[in-house]
């Protein structure tokens, strides 16, 4: 036992330069603990636990100081997430509202494939009391084919008819919680707007901020109008970070080939942009006469102006998390160049993560944060391992150098895919079988052509000559789409899997951190942890039946697999159900498993259990006591032994899931998966009582 203790002490001392890297990891673990808590904890719970852990560190610092400090950081992260939640008190809409007049001030505009998406604040809704009216709402407005409307400016007050609804909770166990996502963006309702809108008041005293966001929205619109939707939507995504206008077909191809991340402003994009700007400025300074070249300060001067230009670019992109992460790292690198200091990439990544989590703890639960940091951390760890180092013998042959370059691209793609695929499965329920191959082909195109053209666009923009860069971008994006469509056409290009359980995802995350943050051989234990975490996908027991709010969607397990009894297969909720249960799309249910009469009174047979959906009181009376489970909106009395699921339980956008095991009926809803949290259905309902 003493030898084991000595070995642990020796190993811990040998990794002392890596200890700081675990600070943001422990802080993030605390944030995850807070969001995984079943119900909203009392404000004193986590601060009290943090104080106890810190006291333990003081009392037992000789025996287990690192462990106590780690616990202190975990509870500090949970406490901070709890505090930030208490500071968010947006009004959330409690029930769906039919189309009615809505007045609001335009805060943001995004182009979509068929229209625009408007973010409105200072909202008033006809027939809704002010105390129940959200401060902000988001509307999707679709245009008829060929119709065009003059976009309002940021800050304009507009009038539009709109239907509103609360953001839905998880559609499946361990699914993404849209209500939480919108809660922390203080968006209290989502919905659809019916064009045209009417501008009630122009922004007569626009601020610099409104001017800037209006300019960004107009720039996005101009790019799309110049290039058209097919390539313009992707070009806008690369330049301004607004890629909503990408067509559904192209989105599906990019997703199936695992190339959609290229559209998001990521660390790779930021690094290339910063590199092109820095090198261009450096060459420009070197080209000046010696008395103007500022030698030897020219490198620092180029870094200083690169820092300014990259800062402008990060605001143009709309501040996505992946770009902010890269921006913080680039700032640290450029500051090191200015002050002639060395930068540790992994430490810079840790600082970036800690700053983002302190600013917005909820960002930990978003795809952009998880995928960006996981991929970057894995690639940095790969570089630190020196596996990418070019052997001296390769320098003597062009063919060997080319093969080494190709091998490097493949290895980087494999590592990035391994680090992000389980996370992508947990959020999107799909993985690309040929993602490594597609990314290996796309990386040179993106790095050597597309992103340098984006940098050229911004260089030419002040002179009105950006059309040249857009033309070149059009050809590059056309090639990228051709590659995506080609790979997406391969058999089994995209596979669908259920989300792993929370403990499995946590085990994978710990394994990934263990492999990347340590440097000695003990790091490889992380591979085992990660593999076990991924394997927990096979322990998931999917529901036998899923019912959407208001009985709008119904799916169940048939003899040949899951089928959709009610709803459109390509609509949002049925598509999430399908992907989460291993299907691209659910087939329509047919007799004898699903039988309906002319009055739409329906009966399903699910694993030998009779489930009825009566609409008429007479049918309800006939099914009462006969069907095993009965979904009803009809006022009723006792109906034993039938299990009743009533209108109140089906309200809103909540999903009801049923497991039918040997006659035992187990039921859960979105509200159960959310718990009683400020953003949950239960919290909204209780606040309205």
Lowest mean pLDDT among 98-107, 428-437, 525-534: 428-437
Q: Is the pLDDT of residue 411 over 90?
A: no
The residue-averaged pLDDT of 33-44 equals 91
Q: What percent of the chain has pLDDT over 90?
A: 33
Q: Residue 29: in which H helix or E strand, if any? A: helix 22-36
pLDDT-derived band at 197 (thresholds 50, 70, 90) equals very high
pLDDT-derived band at 419 (thresholds 50, 70, 90) equals very high
pLDDT of residue 161: 95
Radius of gyration of the chain (CA): 28
- What is the DSSP secondary structure assignment for residue 39, as one 8-state letter? B
pLDDT tens string 541-550? 999 999 988 7
Residue with the larger pLDDT of the pair 584 and 206: 584
Q: How far apart are CA 49 and CA 71, in angstroms?
A: 9
Q: What percent of the chain has pLDDT over 70?
A: 91
Find the helix packing angle between 345-359 and 321-339, rounded to 10°. Answer: 130
Query: Of the candidates 4, 628, 32, 7, which has an alpha carbon nearest to the alpha carbon of residue 362?
Result: 32
pLDDT of residue 531: 95
Q: Is the pLDDT of residue 684 over 60?
A: no
Q: Is the pLDDT of residue 206 over 90?
A: no
pLDDT-derived band at 393 (thresholds 50, 70, 90) equals low
Q: How far apart are CA 672 and CA 684, in angstroms?
A: 14
CATH code of the region 97-206: 2.40.50
Tokens matching residue 71: 């616990």
First to last CA, the chain: 60
- Residue showing tokens 């559609």: 171
pLDDT of residue 689: 47
pLDDT tens string 61-81? 666 788 889 999 999 999 999
pLDDT-derived band at 524 (thresholds 50, 70, 90) equals very high
pLDDT tens string 116-148? 899 999 999 999 999 999 999 999 999 887 777
pLDDT of residue 112: 84
Q: Is the pLDDT of residue 195 over 70?
A: yes
Tokens matching residue 558: 């048939």
Lowest mean pLDDT among 364-378, 617-631, 666-680: 617-631
pLDDT of residue 244: 78
Q: Is the pLDDT of residue 289 over 60?
A: yes
pLDDT-derived band at 290 (thresholds 50, 70, 90) equals low
Domain boundaries in the chain? 18-87, 97-206, 253-496, 502-539, 545-653
Residue with the larger pLDDT of the pair 354 and 12: 354
pLDDT of residue 525: 94
- What is the DSSP secondary structure assignment for residue 245, as one 8-state letter? T
pLDDT of residue 260: 83
Residue with the larger pLDDT of the pair 282 and 163: 163
pLDDT of residue 191: 94
Residue 547, Ramachandran bin (φ over 0: left; ψ between -120 and 50: alpha; else beta): beta
Query: Of the candidates 405, 441, 445, 505, which has an alpha carbon nearest to the alpha carbon of residue 258?
Result: 441
pLDDT of residue 101: 95
Query: Of the candidates 177, 516, 509, 503, which has an alpha carbon nearest to the alpha carbon of residue 379?
Result: 516
pLDDT of residue 62: 66
pLDDT of residue 651: 65
Tokens matching residue 345: 């990439």
**Cα angle 672-677-680, degrees, rounded to a multiple of 5:** 60
Q: How far apart are CA 153 and CA 408, in angstroms?
A: 47
Q: Is the pLDDT of residue 163 over 90?
A: yes
pTM of the model: 0.89
Residue 618: CB atoms within 10 Å: 10
Q: Is the pLDDT of residue 397 over 80?
A: no
pLDDT of residue 387: 66
- What is the DSSP secondary structure assignment for residue 141, as one 8-state letter? E
pLDDT of residue 293: 52
Residue pair 474/436 in contact by the 8 Å Cβ criterion: no
The residue-averaged pLDDT of 666-681 equals 86
The residue-averaged pLDDT of 256-276 equals 75
Query: Of the candidates 592, 594, 589, which has an alpha carbon nearest to the alpha carbon of residue 577?
Result: 589
Burial 172-181 (b: 16+ CB within 10 A, else e): bbbbbbbbbe
The residue-averaged pLDDT of 359-379 equals 90
Residue pair 574/553 in contact by the 8 Å Cβ criterion: yes
What value does the mean pLDDT of the chain take?
Answer: 85
Residue 280: CB atoms within 10 Å: 16
pLDDT tens string 598-644? 878 889 989 888 898 888 888 888 888 778 888 887 776 677 777 77
pLDDT tens string 332-352? 888 888 887 787 889 988 998
Burial 572-602 (b: 16+ CB within 10 A, else e): ebbbbbbbbbbbeebeebeeebbebeeeebb
- Residue showing tokens 């999430």: 576
The residue-averaged pLDDT of 168-194 equals 91
pLDDT of residue 335: 85
Residue pair 119/162 in contact by the 8 Å Cβ criterion: no
């Amino acid at each position: 036992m003493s030898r084991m203790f000595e070995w642990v002490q020796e190993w811990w001392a040998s990794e002392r330069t890596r200890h700081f890297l675990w600070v943001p990891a422990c802080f993030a673990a605390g944030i995850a603990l807070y969001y995984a808590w079943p119900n909203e904890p009392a404000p004193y719970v986590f601060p009290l636990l943090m104080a106890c852990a810190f006291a333990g560190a003081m009392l037992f610092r000789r025996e287990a100081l690192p462990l106590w400090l780690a616990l202190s950081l975990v509870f500090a992260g949970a406490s901070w997430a709890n505090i930030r939640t208490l500071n968010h008190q947006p009004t959330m809409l409690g029930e769906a509202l039919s189309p009615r007049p809505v007045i609001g001030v335009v805060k943001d505009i995004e182009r979509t494939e068929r229209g625009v998406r408007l973010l409105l604040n200072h909202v008033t809704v006809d027939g809704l009391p002010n105390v129940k009216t959200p401060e902000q709402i988001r509307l999707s407005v679709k245009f008829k084919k060929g119709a065009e409307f003059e976009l309002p400016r940021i800050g304009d007050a507009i009038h539009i008819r709109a239907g509103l609804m609360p953001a839905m909770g998880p559609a499946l166990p361990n699914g993404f919680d849209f209500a939480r996502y919108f809660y922390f963006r203080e968006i209290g309702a989502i919905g659809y707007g019916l064009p045209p809108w009417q501008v009630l008041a122009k922004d007569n005293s626009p601020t610099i901020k409104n001017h800037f966001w209006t300019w960004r929205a107009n720039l996005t619109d101009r790019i799309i109008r110049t290039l058209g939707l097919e390539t313009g939507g992707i070009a806008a995504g690369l330049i301004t970070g607004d890629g909503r206008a990408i067509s559904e077909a192209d989105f599906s191809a990019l997703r199936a080939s695992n190339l959609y991340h290229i559209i998001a402003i990521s660390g790779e994009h930021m690094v290339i942009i910063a590199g092109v700007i820095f090198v261009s400025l450096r060459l420009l300074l070197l080209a000046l006469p010696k008395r103007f070249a500022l030698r030897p300060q020219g490198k620092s001067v180029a870094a200083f102006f690169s820092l300014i230009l990259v800062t402008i670019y990060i605001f143009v992109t709309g501040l996505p998390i992946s770009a902010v992460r890269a921006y913080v790292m680039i700032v640290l690198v450029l500051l090191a160049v200015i002050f002639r200091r060395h930068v540790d990439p992994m430490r810079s990544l840790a600082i970036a993560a800690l700053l983002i989590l302190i600013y917005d703890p909820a960002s930990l639960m978003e795809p952009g944060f998880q995928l960006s940091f996981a991929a970057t951390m894995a690639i940095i760890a790969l570089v630190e391992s020196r596996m990418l180092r070019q052997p001296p013998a390769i320098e003597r042959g062009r063919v060997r150098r080319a093969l080494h370059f190709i091998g490097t691209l493949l290895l980087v793609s494999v590592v990035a895919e391994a680090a992000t695929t389980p996370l992508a499965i947990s959020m999107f329920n799909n993985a690309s079988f040929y993602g490594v191959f597609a990314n290996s082909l796309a990386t040179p195109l993106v790095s050597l052509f597309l992103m340098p053209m984006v940098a050229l666009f911004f260089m030419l923009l002040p002179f009105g000559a950006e059309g040249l860069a857009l033309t070149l971008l059009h050809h590059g994006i056309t090639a990228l789409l051709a590659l995506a469509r080609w790979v997406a056409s391969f058999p089994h290009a995209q596979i669908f899997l259920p989300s792993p359980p929370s403990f499995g995802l946590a085990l994978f995350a710990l394994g990934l951190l263990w492999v990347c943050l340590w440097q000695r051989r003990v790091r490889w234990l992380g591979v085992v942890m990660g593999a076990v975490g991924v394997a927990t996908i096979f322990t998931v027991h999917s529901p036998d039946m899923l019912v959407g709010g208001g009985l709008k969607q119904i799916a169940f397990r048939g003899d040949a697999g899951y089928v959709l009894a009610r709803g459109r297969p390509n609509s949002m909720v049925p598509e999430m159900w399908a992907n989460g249960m291993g299907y691209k799309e659910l087939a329509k249910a047919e007799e004898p498993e699903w039988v309906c009469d002319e009055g739409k009174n329906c009966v399903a047979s699910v694993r030998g259990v009779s489930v009825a959906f009566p609409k008429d009181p007479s049918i309800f009376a006939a099914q009462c006591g006969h069907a095993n489970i009965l979904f009803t909106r009809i006022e009723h009395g006792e109906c034993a032994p039938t299990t009743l699921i009533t209108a109140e339980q089906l309200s809103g956008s909540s999903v009801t899931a049923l497991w039918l095991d040997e006659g035992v009926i187990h039921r859960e809803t979105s509200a159960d998966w959310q718990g009683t949290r400020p953003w949950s259905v239960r919290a909204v309902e209780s606040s309205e009582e």
